[in-house]
């Protein structure tokens, strides 16, 4: 009888050491910029902007099991046929404690799950900046980082196959 509980306890401890762990430690703005090169002239026009959004992510290991993920948004908005109304550049970052994942799971977490957590903060910051610039909020649509990651992995595999 005593052998069974000892075996279970040992297995439980081993599983606990290997089980995945994820914790958000901090979210912050790393870099931010707002420019309105045509203000105040742009305000005389009926504002129906065309929006150009560029989105990127990057990550780096800070120490064992601690990673910084940076979500970069570059947005340019302008009225049809006119010059730029405003430009917003934002680096929304987070520090995450992640352990117990294999390399592919870790890469997926850093490139998809973490940016999904950061995006609502970035969207709110962008809208605040745009409002303070006297423009209507952009209300950016949610981004499917899982699909973006899958596309990037597909391109990488296709590129790898061509190289072989």
- Mean pLDDT of the 6-24 span: 63
Query: Has residue 13 got a pLDDT over 50?
Result: no
Measured in residues, the chain has a length of 164
Percentage of the chain exceeding pLDDT 90: 70
For residue 96, name the pLDDT band (cuts at 50, 70, 90): very high
Domain residues for 56?
20-157
Which is nearest to 116 in space by CA: 61, 43, 29, 55? 55
Question: Is 164 part of a structural domain of the chain?
Answer: no
Question: Is 2 part of a structural domain of the chain?
Answer: no
Distance in angstroms between the alpha carbons of the first and the last residue of the chain: 57
Domain at 129, CATH number: 3.10.420.10
Q: Each residue of 36-77: pLDDT tens digit? A: 999 998 888 888 889 999 999 999 999 999 999 999 999 999
Question: How many structural domains comprise the chain?
Answer: 1
For residue 10, name the pLDDT band (cuts at 50, 70, 90): very low
Question: Is 144 part of a structural domain of the chain?
Answer: yes
Question: Is 39 part of a structural domain of the chain?
Answer: yes
Question: Is 138 part of a structural domain of the chain?
Answer: yes
Question: Is 1 part of a structural domain of the chain?
Answer: no
For residue 17, name the pLDDT band (cuts at 50, 70, 90): low
**Contact between 70 and 122 (Cβ < 8 Å):** no
pLDDT of res. 43 = 87
Query: Has residue 79 got a pLDDT over 60?
Result: yes
Give the pTM: 0.82
pLDDT of res. 161 = 52
**Contact between 83 and 38 (Cβ < 8 Å):** yes
d(CA 15, CA 21): 12
Query: Has residue 164 got a pLDDT over 80?
Result: no
Question: Is 27 part of a structural domain of the chain?
Answer: yes
């Amino acid at each position: 009888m005593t052998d069974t509980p000892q075996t279970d306890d040992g297995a439980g401890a081993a599983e606990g050491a290997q089980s995945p762990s994820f914790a958000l430690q901090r979210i912050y703005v790393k870099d931010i910029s707002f420019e309105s090169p045509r203000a105040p002239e742009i305000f005389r026009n009926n504002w129906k902007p065309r929006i150009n959004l560029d989105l990127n992510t990057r990550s780096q290991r800070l120490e064992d099991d601690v990673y910084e993920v940076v979500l970069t948004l570059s947005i340019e908005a302008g009225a049809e046929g006119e010059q730029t109304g405003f430009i917003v550049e934002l680096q929304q970052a987070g520090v995450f404690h992640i352990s117990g994942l294999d390399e592919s799971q870790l890469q997926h977490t850093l490139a998809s799950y973490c940016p999904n957590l950061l995006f609502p903060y970035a969207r709110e910051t962008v809208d605040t900046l745009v409002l303070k610039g006297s423009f209507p909020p952009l209300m950016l649509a949610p981004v499917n980082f899982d699909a973006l990651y899958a596309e990037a992995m597909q391109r990488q595999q296709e590129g790898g196959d061509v190289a072989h």
